[in-house]
Structure 1
Amino acid sequence: MTPRHLPLHDGWTLHAGTPVPVGLPTGGVPAAVPGCVHTDLLSAGLIDDPYLDDNEKRLGWIGRTDWTYRNEFTWSADEHASTDLCFDGLDTVATILLNGTEIGSTANQHRSYRFPVRPLLREGLNTLVVRFTAPYTYAEALRDKLGDRPGAYTEPYPFIRKMACNFGWDWGPTLVTSGIWRPVGLESWTGPRIAEVKVIGDLDGDGVPRLALTLDVERAGDGPLEASVEVAGERAVFTVPAGENRAAVTLAVPGAERWWPHSHGEQPLYDVTVRLGDKAWSGRTGFRRAGLEHEAFRISVNDEPVFVRGVNWIPDDCFPARVTRQRISDRFDQAIAMGVNLIRVWGGGLYESDDFYELADEKGLLVWQDFPFACAAYPEEQPLYDEVAAEVRENLVRLAPHPSLVLWCGNNENLEGHADWGWQEKLEGRSWGHAYYHELLPALCAETDPSRPYWPGSPYSGSPELPPNDPARGTVHLWEVWNRVDYRAYADTAHRFVAEFGFQGPPAYATLRRAISGPLGLGAPLIAHHQKAEDGDAKLLRGLGDHLPQPTSFDDWHWLTQLNQARAVAFGIRHFRSNSPYCMGAIVWQLNDCWPVVSWAAVDGDGRRKPLWYALRSVYADRLMAVRDGSLHLVNDSARLWEGTLRLTRRSLDGAVLAEETVVVGTAARGVTRVPLPPSVAEPADSTREVLVAELGELRAVEFYEEDTRLALPPARYHATVTQGDESGIGYRVTVTARTLLRDLALFPDRLDPAAEVDDMLVTLLPGESAVFHVTGAVLKDPEALLARPVLRCVNDTVDV
């Protein structure tokens, strides 16, 4: 008999459990499920948008208020024997009542819950109530009981199994949510039920694809149960023994093709169907082997090492129920378009939605998944220990089918914090998470998902006895750059794997303009509110160093700090990639933002690409030329030999060739070639007035001998035109022909229309060369405005000559 599912998403109302500073209607506020309190109050017009101006500062009371969700639904008896109330996600500390009877309680955002309720259901109208205890109330009480723990912030997030960045971060607001954040419904069935299916697709020792299946059932009797599994034309029948609730089977799938990251191959995926009597479960998986060479921290897929061109991922919205499948797809497409092959799901956020991992499977993006622990000492006492064990096991099973997921990581920066941040003295012997990262998590991974490597944390050097941030082993996080030293320091050391590094820059102009109603000026208080990093505004200016001049206007500040962000990160990546295969990965902090903010992201909180995005597209391309230590490094992360005649020219800034050398080169697939620069091009006669140009096929690199503040850059002179861009009349072509050298030419059409986008940026032109920019997304009243500052910019605008 087919199970029956009744969604319970309509008809909810929200009520406050304690007095609040806004006038709630007597009958409650209409509530969206899935959703949360903040979005319900916002939809009702009772609070201002927390992402705009400094509205966030007036909404702290929401996370300190108890809230109740109420719903009335109609139910009629059916022929089934059992009915469960199923919550896919509750945020976070909740008590559930059905028709006045308490049926359960929860304290973990990262879990789902199922409660048997059939005896409590009534023919006709039923009442469902979910009472949420304020997150601060719960977490602070547990903190008082267990003793405080050190961390990056004073908020009590280590004491509640909830998205840590809800409590504020150095890029995010403090918006502490409650709510029914994932789907809820009633499920009815008769006979045995498919309770859980774990599917792992990998390769056996001979490289043959295989499916490992574990089936858990909820029984109605004690007899043996026959089940089957089908995938890619193969079928296996197996039995759940009498009195048992679990059975496992492994099935060879010789006809299946291997799954690869998009940088290395195709992504074949296969439907999996499991049957138990008249019940069926369906899913999808791919077949690949995931490996990790520990000391070198070299990730491999199907035994082929992968140089990781990565980005860190934070929750894409402070209110995750608003993140649609399409929005995730758009972010992934933005990542892939700039050459990314791995996304690291950072430990201060979530185990992401099924949509997230399904899309990663389809698009060929590798996923590194942190367990949700970040930047703090986490107590190991009850009830937290058992909550962690339950959430981990559930998510190991849920995510096991996804071939994109290639690494489980215990935490973000907690091992480093304990070793290097003075935590041990503050802890005075109290627990801090060691038992999670070195005992519980590896044991659960080995038991539940042995197909993927586990790594205790990042940064980590492979042993608790070693310094966590050792560049010679494991992973490092590089935050001296940005916090204290110039970005040229990236090149001081060779690292094995850089799992976090980054540099700040403001969001797009249109994003700032939407978020801030006041003036956009240097030192504007509302802009300062959208800068959460400690001393962040001063670091932005200090970070300009001798690379770029100090700005004297808002427009120059916006342009120069965005440009400096792009240059700093690109500089680091050129160094890391040129050290391959000693270094086998770089993961930029960060791809995305959760709101409009000055941050490290390449794509801002409104989904707009910053100059960093264009720089990453260049330095994360399959093939890269990088000048370092007197040599040109040819980095070939493609599957084909890269060969040709390399042309090296030293030129004056007016374009005249002062010296020229040619070298026949060949770089193997997935290889790096070091070409020493001949003295005639390596040594300028006047470093302030000359430039090095390297050309190989269609690829070109332009390298200056001095920082921009010491270059004799001429005032920008060029001829620019704008024409309709395509046959439909939508879009524009902006053509710029340089009459002088133009350094990092950029176009910002969002200043004219928030919907406008440009296809390229940060283009350096020699005199006489042209570039064409395509602008899409808007129809402009005055297209000629695309040709004027501050829409069209280059470094020449800002350097004194």
Structure 2
Amino acid sequence: MLDVTPLTEGWTLRHEGAALSAAVPGCVHTDLLAAGVIADPFLGRNETEVAWVGRRDWTYDVALPATSGHEQTDLVFDGLDTAAQIRLDGQLLGSVRNMHRSYRFDVTGLGGPLSVHFTSAYGAAEAVRDRLGERPSAYPEPFPYLRKMACSFGWDWGPTLVTAGIWRPVRLEHWSTARIARVRPLVTVERGVGRVELAVDVERTRVEAGLTVEARAGGVRACGTIDGTSGTVLLEIPGPELWWPRGYGEQRLYDVELTLSDAHGPLDAWRRRIGFRTLELDRRADAHGSGFTFVVNGVRLFARGVNWIPDDALPSRITPERYRHRLRQAAAAGVDLVRVWGGGIYESEDFYDACDELGLMVWQDFPFACAAYPEEQPLRGEVEAEARENVVRLMPHPSLVLWNGNNENLWGFKDWDWERRLAGDSWGEGYYLGLLPRVVAELDPTRPYAAGSPWSGSWDHHPNDPAHGTHHSWEVWNRTDYADYRLHVPRFVAEFGWQAPPAYATLRRALPGEALAPDSPGMLHHQKADDGNGKLERGLARHFPPPEGDFDRWHYLNQVNQARAVAAGIEHWRAHWPVCAGTVLWQLNDCWPVTSWAAIDGDGRAKPLYHELRRLYADRLLTLQPRTGGLVLAAVNQSAQPWRGTVRLRRMSVEGVTTGETTLDLSAAARAVGELLVPTELRPAGPKEFLVADADGLRALHFPVPDREVPYPSPRFDVTVAPGAVTVTAHTLVRDLLLQADRLDPAAEADTGLVTLLPGERVTIGVRGWETLDERAETAARSALYCVEPTR
């Protein structure tokens, strides 16, 4: 059998005569941090102080163990970041320049010192740019000229930390006669039978040896022979249990094992988990344009999605446990689709394994984002090689539901003056409309491919036309009020979002000793968006009076505004299912502590938006929607059962007096939306009234004017503290009450986000990680509670 020797110990990092111990997998930044050579780039403005790291060359050295008695030994790198030369005992094994693929070198009979010399990614990218010519980009960094994680070079939410290193595992593989080079599993369900067609490629040392393959899954066994260097074996499993997205059924997974043998016994084995499900992306034209609806096992879905960026700016630090924790957070918020965004990476198997188990559908971008990418060599060959490898690597995962060509590049060509500036130069269209769909069709025909996001399906329509295909809604955040989300009903909203600062404890850790203010030096450094603070200020001013000089109020109100903005969009779009078939929030996570669009900040703390997602993405959602001709109550029912009940409608004054009330029958079919027109006499008139709708434990509120025009009473409420809980009892209307648990203790977490209480109502907020129960606990809890206050 094939033997594996991991190469994880004894590595040294060298630079200009200096040497220090290196961790593999890892990167230069993590090694320098561990040795105390650089300060943490996530703190203060240290990012700028470590910029020199990305401009230097670095070398990793290790003594290669003696080879075994097998016929062949391969040196295998799962990931090298990015431009490097590999030498063994002074002999050049090869040169590489792609972070997104693996490499294999025959080192049979060789030994001695192994060195991996990394050239600065800046130097490598700039050399390609100088040869092929400048291409337009959303950022001035040279990321389009090298197959490396684009956001290493900085983004409007991320630091510029240009990494280098052996970022994924490296090992020696010793084998004889033959090894399994590639297995391509085509998994389908036909007439109640699960079919697993395993296309097997092998590498041989002896062509005369007779080879067989045996596959097992679900109690079924099948055998085949290898003719030359390839063969196929088919497994048919009667009546397989299906894999479903979360909320629609169970996530049944099957272990598949394939063994390669010769006459003397087993030589190599391949093991994966698969799931059986049918998958369709319905893009047919209809009366509203052309759709973009996922259909899994025959069920049409409204996709409740989030965009995913690399969870750490130094991605070699992301552990399997961290992937699983973050994705569990997503699932707990009602998410059923995660889009792996194109400025990042193809994630590790741990990510996709967790998505398989949690029922999170994966939309996978190919790594192209916000720039014109040259199509000449050496880039074109690298793009095809990485695409072929990663399509086959990821295709066993039932969670993977879409391959997407790029992020915003087709849109950029049309709207960002690229066509004129390119003057005929290549820019990536040949990848998105030619190379990538050809690779997917050849290797993974079981999954749909989209040329980009946004994309209307063809050049017959504007790439970001909301009536066709996928749409990115950024005009609202950049220029207008979030109420404007209600002006359009896109077929599928693949990006939209609103910024807010991270949790208070995250800011305190990231900006030690700083007097926090929206424009303090550290806050500005950790705000990467173009005019980000200006957009926050203008967006806040449309709803609240400016909290001048009060950082705590500024912090709280911007977090409220973020949750309100996202709610305005999702409630409107979900209420228009099935015309709109999905929303993918920008974004779930952060890669460092920063003011951004994320629901979970760079230290892993949930913002109020995260808790709001649990309401917005629940199977059942109650929402009040202003429409032409009146106010509509929409009952959004994503569950498999009809929703029938009674809704209580109350028109109330801000003083808490009910001025009108009725009950109505509510009805929404399974996977459908039911609507009721609010009676004219119950519609709130003017700033002193609002509407409350309650049904089956769900609540919807409608205030007809912005908060800055509402004459809120001074909030009065009682606070009691018990182990693991803070209870608030309201004596007045208390709007958007929030317990910022991390102000009690940086380790504390609250299980509840923003909540509005009517007079006499109470809420108990669970708190983990805060053990103080002395006489000061109630005072501390009260100081960590925030709510909307009267206009001063």
Q: Distance in 1 between matches of 2:460 and 2:19?
A: 56
For 1:415, the equivalent position in structure 2 comes to: 410
Superposed CA deviations along residues 545-567 of structure 1, whole A, max 9, x for unmatched, are 33122112111110011110110
| Aligned counterpart in structure 1 of residue 273 of structure 2, from 268, 271, 284 | 284
Determine if the alignment matches structure 1 residue 330 to structure 2 residue 314: no
User: Offset at 1:207?
Assistant: 4.4
Counterpart for residue 84 of structure 2: 94
Q: Would the aligned equivalents of 2:623 and 2:634 in 1 still touch at CA under 8 Å?
A: yes
Structure 2 residue identity aligned to 1:548: F
Letter in 2 for 1:259: W
Distance 1:95 1:306 in 2: 48
Aligned to 1:592, the other structure's residue is in SS state coil
Q: For structure 1, which segment, 77-86 or 743-752, has the greater mean C-alpha deviation from structure 2 after superposition?
A: 77-86
How big is the shift at 1:255? 3.8
Amino acid across the alignment from 1:758: A
- Matching residue within 215, 231, 254 for 2:217: 231
Residue 787 of structure 1 aligns with which residue? 781
**Contact 1:722-1:786 at 8 Å conserved across structures:** no
Q: Call closer, same or farther: CA 1:219–1:74 in 2, change over 3 Å.
A: closer
Map of 1:645 onto structure 2: 646
Contact 1:520/1:527 (CA < 8 Å) preserved in 2? yes
2:734 pairs with 1:742: yes
Who is 1:196 aligned against?
182
Post-superposition offset of 1:703: 1.8
Determine if the alignment matches structure 1 residue 341 to structure 2 residue 336.
Answer: yes
Q: CA deviation at 1:27?
A: 5.7
Question: Does the 8 Å contact 1:200/1:285 carry over to 2?
Answer: no
Q: What are the superposed Cα offsets for residues 658-704 of structure 1, whole Å, 9 maximum, x if unpaired? A: 111221122111100111111121243xx222121111121121222
Q: Is the 8 A contact 1:14 1:29 kept in 2?
A: yes
Q: How does 1:345-360 map to 2 (within 5 A)?
A: 345-360=340-355
In the TM superposition, what whole-angstrom CA distance separates every residue of 1:438-458 from its partner, at most 9, and x where no partner exists? 000000000000010000000
Residue 601 of structure 2 corresponds to 604
Q: Does 1:268 align with 2:252?
A: yes
Identity of aligned residues (%): 54
| Residue deviations 1:336-372 (CA, integer Å, cap 9, x gap) | 1111000000000000000000000011000000000
Shift of 1:755: 0.2
CA distance in 1, matches of 2:756, 2:684: 21
Match of 1:208 in 2: 193
Query: 1:21 aligns to what?
Result: none
Name which of 145, 148, 152 aligns with 1:162: 148
CA distance in 2, matches of 1:141, 1:207: 55
Counterparts of 1:406 and 1:97, CA distance in 2: 40
Offset at 1:788? 2.7
Match for 2:489: what amino acid?
A: A
Q: Is the 8 A contact 2:684 2:703 kept in 1?
A: no
Q: Deviations over 1:10-68 (max 9, x none)?
A: 11111115xxxxxxxx5611111000001111110000100000000122211111110
Deviation at 1:304, TM superposition (A): 1.2
1:521 is displaced (CA, Å) by 2.1
Q: Which stretch of structure 1 is more off in the superposition, 357-366 or 53-62?
A: 53-62
* 1:568 correspondence with 2:565: yes
Task: Classify the secondary structure of the residue corresponding to 2:507.
Answer: helix
Q: Are the equivalent residues in 2 in contact too, given 1:209–1:258 (CA < 8 A)?
A: no
Paired residues of 2:482 and 2:569 also in contact (CA < 8 A): yes
Deviation at 1:775, TM superposition (A): 1.0
Q: Any conservation in 1 of the 2:684–2:691 contact (CA below 8 Å)?
A: no
Q: 2:52 pairs with 37, 61, 64, which one?
A: 61
8 A Cα contact 2:543 2:707, kept in partner: yes
Aligned to 2:592: 595
Counterpart check, 1:185 vs 2:168 = no
Q: Distance in 2 between matches of 1:653 and 1:382?
A: 66
Give the aligned partner of residue 132 of structure 1: 118
Describe the superposition over 1:196-250 as per-residue Cα deviations: whole angstroms up to 9, x where unpaired: 112232212x243211211110123334421111110111111111xx2111233
Instruction: Name whichever of 341-350 and 622-631 sits farther off.
Output: 622-631
Counterparts of 1:496-507 in structure 2, within 5 Å, are 496-507=491-502
Which amino acid is 2:275 matched to? Answer: G
Paired with 1:655 and 1:668, the residues of 2 have a C-alpha distance of: 34
SS at match of 2:159: strand
In structure 2, give the amino acid aligned to 1:745: L
Equivalence for 1:538: 534
Counterpart pick for 2:63 among 72, 84, 93: 72
TM-score by length of 2: 0.96
Question: Is this contact kept in 1: 2:192–2:238, CA < 8 A?
Answer: no
When the two chains are superposed, the root-mean-square deviation of aligned CA atoms in Å is 1.2
1:527 equivalenced with 2:523 (yes/no): yes
Letter in 1 for 2:135: R
Paired with 1:50 and 1:162, the residues of 2 have a C-alpha distance of 20
Asked whether the equivalents of residues 518 and 533 of structure 2 are also in contact (C-alpha less than 8 Å), the reply is no
Q: Give the Cα–Cα distance (whole angstroms) in 1 for the partners of residues 160 and 683 of structure 2.
A: 51
**What does residue 48 of structure 1 align with?**
39
1:576-607 per-residue CA deviation (whole Å, 9 max, x = no partner) reads: 10010000000000000000000000000000
Distance 1:386 1:432 in 2: 15
Q: Which residue of 424, 443, 448 maps to 1:453?
A: 448
Give 1:534's aligned amino acid. D
Identify the range of structure 1 (56-65 vs 378-387) with the bigger mean alpha-carbon deviation.
Answer: 56-65
1:44-101 per-position Cα deviation (integer Å, ceiling 9, x unaligned): 00001000000001222111111100112432x5331110000000000111111111
Please name the residue that 1:655 is paired with: 656
3-state SS of paired residue (1:28):
strand
Partner Cα distance (2:701, 2:485) in 1: 20
Choose from 766, 773, 778 the match for 2:758: 766
Deviates more, 1:381-390 or 1:221-230: 221-230
3-state secondary structure, aligned to 1:120: coil
Determine if contact 2:313/2:591 at 8 Å carries over to the other structure. Answer: yes
Residue 391 of structure 1 and its aligned partner are, at CA, apart by 0.2
Flag structure 2 segments of 5+ consecutive residues without an equivalent: 284-289
Shift of 1:519: 1.3
Whether the 8 Å CA contact 1:654–1:766 is kept in 2: the answer is no
1:5-44 mapped onto 2 (5 Å cutoff): 5-17=4-16, 28-44=19-35
Which one of 717, 732, 746 corresponds to residue 754 of structure 1?
A: 746
Instruction: Please tell me whether the aligned partners of residues 731 and 760 of structure 2 are also in contact (alpha carbons under 8 angstroms).
Output: yes
Aligned-pair CA distance for 1:378: 0.2
Match of 2:402, SS state, is: strand
Structure 1 portions without partners, runs of 5+: 18-25, 725-730
Matched, 1:475 2:470: yes
Would the aligned equivalents of 2:192 and 2:240 in 1 still touch at CA under 8 Å?
no
Q: Which residue does the alignment assign to 1:103?
A: 93
Q: C-alpha offsets along residues 430-484 of structure 1, whole Å, 9 cap, x if unaligned?
A: 0000110000000000000001000000000010232001111100000011111
Distance, in Å, in 2 between the alignment partners of 1:256 and 1:615 is 37
Confirm or deny: 8 A CA contact 1:747 1:786 kept in the other structure: no
Instruction: Find the counterpart in structure 2 of residue 20 from structure 1.
Output: none
Listed one character per residue, the Cα deviations across residues 120-167 of structure 1 (whole Å, up to 9, x for unaligned) are 13xxxx211000011001100100000000010011000000000000
Per the alignment, residue 550 of structure 1 pairs with 546
Question: 1:262, 1:364 within 8 Å by CA — same for their partners in 2?
Answer: yes
In structure 2, what is the Cα distance between the partners aligned to 1:667 and 1:761?
A: 27
Match of 2:286 in 1: none
Q: Are positions 1:581 and 2:578 aligned together?
A: yes
User: How many residues in Structure 1 have an aligned counterpart in Structure 2?
Assistant: 772
Quick check: 126-135 or 163-172, which moved more? 126-135
TM-score, scaled to structure 1:
0.95
One-letter amino acid of the structure 2 residue matched with residue 288 of structure 1: R
Partners of 1:545 and 1:618 in 2: CA distance: 26
Contact conserved, 2:684 with 2:690, CA < 8 A, in 1? Answer: no
How far, CA to CA, are the matches of 1:800 and 1:657 in structure 2?
23
2:71 and 2:779 map into 1 onto residues whose CA distance is: 70
User: Match for residue 727 of structure 1?
Assistant: none
